[in-house]
Structure 1
Amino acid sequence: MVTPVRVVIALCLVAPFVALLWVGSYAKTDPAFIGIPFFYWYQMLWVVVSAVLTMVAHQLWQRDQRARTGSGKGGGSR
């Protein structure tokens, strides 16, 4: 079943793939950050952003599962 929460979860998980597979958007050297070309620091920034988005997606998924099982009794983390 597609719900708004599941759409947000999907966007959180797909965004890093789209951002990093679209190489033409970041295949350049400027702007440099502390001497590091844009190409490298952009990818390293996405490591952190991806971790945060995955954490958000996980929290939303758990909340959605608790809401589906009622008040969260007897379920589990699945």
Structure 2
Amino acid sequence: MLLVPLLMLVTPWFNFDKPRVFGLPFFYWFQFLFVLVGVASVAIVYVMTKGKPVVVGKPDRLTVDDLDEGEHR
């Protein structure tokens, strides 16, 4: 899903003048559209992965005391 915004880098696919939207050539409004597609892609990935652990299969051995910024051992 995060690779979808990278399709914007293939310029020959959208290096055209027409069709125009509000006077803007296709090249410009298509790039702006891909900004919105990129934001939507990142938002979808974030929502789908925000509750999942980063490391699977290993127990979290840190305690609250290990994470404390006080004295070091």
- Greater length-normalized contact order (CA 8 Å, ≥ 6 residues apart): 1
Q: Point out 4+ residue stretches in structure 1 off by more than 6 angstroms.
A: none
Query: 1:16 aligns to what?
Result: 5
| Cα distance, 1:55 vs structure 2 | 0.5
- For structure 2, the 5+ residue unaligned runs are 57-73
With the length of structure 1 as denominator, give the TM-score of the two structures: 0.63
With the length of structure 2 as denominator, give the TM-score of the two structures: 0.67
Bigger CA radius of gyration: 2
Aligned match of 2:52 in 64, 68, 76? 64
Aligned residues: 56
- For structure 1, the 5+ residue unaligned runs are 1-11, 69-78
| Cα distance, 1:43 vs structure 2 | 0.3
Bigger helix fraction: 1
Are residues 1:51 and 2:51 paired?
no
